[in-house]
Amino acid sequence: MSLKTKIGNINLNSCLFNASGVYCKIKEELSNLNTCNSVGAILTKSCTLESRVGNDPPIYWDDGSENSINSSGLPNMGYKYYIENEDIVKYDKPYIVSISGMCEEDNLKIVKETINNNDISGIELNLSCPNIEGKSQIGYDFEAMQNLISKVDLIISSMKSMRRNNFNFGVKLPPYFDMLHFRLVADIINNSSINTITCVNSLGNGLIINHISESVVIKPKRGHGGIGGSSIKSIALSNVRQFSLLTKCDIIGCGGIMNGIDAFEHILCGAKAVQIGTKFYMDGIDVFTFLEKDLLKIMRDKNYKTINDFCGKLKDL
């Protein structure tokens, strides 16, 4: 039995890896992901042109078992830290840079420079950061999204074919809730050279409150932030399902994966790999070993040998 998989142009020894944002901002955390055998890839914190300190704390809250809210405000070391990271050559698994520039020009500059480092396996272009005040999520502005993707596409398609074949163009989408939106976004993606889609980012601008203290639980934006954990699993599954049916891209599932069953469900809906956010935040690096065992146990019980034996094979009634 094996959790080996392929996402776009990238081979992974395990279908499990971190969601961008969780313990992946500094080199020590990135190395920690490299050291854990159950982790399939190393994904960086979303980066911007310049380093950022992010929002005033508290910026994260979880209930210790199921749900979380965050509004970090893109704290990161600046893109050079991630693309010039001298440890990359020592990593023995794919290294993917998440990019969330503050404007189109920044995104294009970072993409261009990322491609120039042959040791970087790909990008996850973040179209769904919900936590920058005054900035809407690109993934909800279809015109801006189309513009950015077509410009990144020009850069990617001008790459030499050798590099192009081992460079992965991924995007991370916000959750959608409307069938027309699924089709519109799938159309944009199908007219591009995008290889992978990560579904979904946190559910933007939710509000978790404490009824005892009668207050919000994080400081930024009067307590509003991205919701993660069990409460968004059903939304994540529908997005994984829809984009796996409507596009030719490989889908990376993210949202509400707390145990092996949740990972199994994502894969059944069409995910070829899954990212762990809230549960990684709560449990630390050991979560990957736990999830690997838990998912392999389900596969053993069902007599599945590989991810492909059940990937996307969800039955209709």
Provide the annotated active-site residues.
Answer: 129
Instruction: Count Cβ atoms below 10 Å from residue 144 Cβ, excluding itself.
Output: 15
Q: Which segment (28-36, 67-75, 81-89, 236-244) binds ligand DHB by CB under 6 A?
A: 67-75
Minimum distance between the CB of residue 269 and ligand DHB, rounded to whole angstroms?
Answer: 21
Beta strands in 71-208 (DSSP E): 95-99, 122-126, 168-173, 196-199, 203-207
126 binds ligand DHB (CB under 6 A): yes
Minimum distance between the CB of residue 207 and ligand DHB, rounded to whole angstroms?
Answer: 15
For ligand DHB, the closer CB: 14 or 71: 71
Dihedral angle of Cα 284, 79, 155, 273, to the nearest 10 degrees: 0
Determine the Cα–Cα distance for residues 205 and 197; give it in Å rounded to an integer.
Answer: 22
Q: From the list 44, 201, 244, 278, which residue makes contact with ligand DHB (rule: CB under 6 A)? A: 201
18 binds ligand DHB (CB under 6 A): no
Pick from 11, 119, 99: nearest CA to 47: 99
CB 299 within 8 A of CB 1: yes
Minimum distance between the CB of residue 172 and ligand DHB, rounded to whole angstroms?
Answer: 7
Distance of CA 190 to the CA centre of its chain: 19
For ligand DHB, the closer CB: 21 or 170: 21
Which 213-232 positions form the footprint of ligand DHB (CB under 6 A)? 226
Q: From the list 128, 244, 275, 278, which residue makes contact with ligand DHB (rule: CB under 6 A)? A: 128
203 binds ligand DHB (CB under 6 A): no
Helix, strand, or coil (residue 275)? strand
256 binds ligand DHB (CB under 6 A): no
For ligand DHB, the closer CB: 134 or 317: 134
Pick from 161, 162, 138, 160: nearest CA to 150: 138
* Pattern 265-284, ligand DHB, x by CB under 6 A: --------------------
**Tokens (6 digits) for 39:** 């982790």
Pick from 158, 82, 169: nearest CA to 127: 169
Minimum distance between the CB of residue 224 and ligand DHB, rounded to whole angstroms?
Answer: 11
Element (H, E) at 68: strand 67-70
Helix, strand, or coil (residue 103)? coil
74 binds ligand DHB (CB under 6 A): yes
Chain residues binding ligand DHB by CB under 6 A are: 21, 46, 54, 70-74, 100, 126, 128-131, 201-202, 226
